[in-house]
Structure 1
């Protein structure tokens, strides 16, 4: 299971309401790359892939593809506003290491 904090849910809701076209939800993917081996990729999407896992909380739908699901199981996603910058953070129990930016893990 993947958990989104209230702050993350509000950030997704705001992004959806500001989108130029209809949005079905947020896609979260893990891709090869980044300085630690894997990187998180988030984006709004207008349709679901039939193989996606769908998580819905308080009206916000999150889509996760089959390959990414094993890397994200148990992850808590937050949205943090800080002087250094605002953005999503990932507390991922599957990560053995992560880079300083928090967007890449091994």
Structure 2
């Protein structure tokens, strides 16, 4: 299961309401790259793809492809408002190491 904090849900809902293109949820992916081996990718999405797992939290849909899902099981996504490095954070129990930027892991 992937968990989103209230802060993350509110940030995504705000982004969806301000989007110029139709969006019904958030797509989260893991791709090869970044300074630690894998990187998190996020973006608004209009609909699920055939191989997506769809997670719903407080009316927000989160779309995760099956390859990424295995890397994200148990991950908590938060949205932090801070003077330094504001934005989404990932607490991923599957990561053996993280990049200092928090957007990359191995």
Which TM-score band (shorter chain)?
over 0.9
Matched, 1:18 2:18: yes
Structure 1 unaligned regions, length at least 5: none
Query: Which consecutive segments of 4 or more residues in structure 1 shift more than 2 A?
Result: none
Q: After superposition, give the CA deviation of every residue in 1:38-95 in whole Å (9 maximum; x if it has no partner).
A: 0000000112101100000110000000100000000000000110132100000000
SS at match of 2:85: coil
Q: CA RMSD in A?
A: 0.6
Counterpart in the other structure of 2:60: 60
Structure 2 unaligned regions, length at least 5: none
Trace 1:33-48 onto structure 2 (pairs within 5 A).
33-48=33-48
Q: After superposition, give the CA deviation of every residue in 1:4-40 in whole Å (9 maximum; x if it has no partner).
A: 0000000000000000021121000000000000000
Counterpart in the other structure of 2:73: 73
SS at match of 1:88: strand
SS at match of 2:50: coil
Counterparts of 1:72 and 1:51 in 2: how far apart (Å)?
A: 15
Contact 1:71 1:94 in 2 (8 A): yes
- The normalised TM-score by structure 1 is 0.98
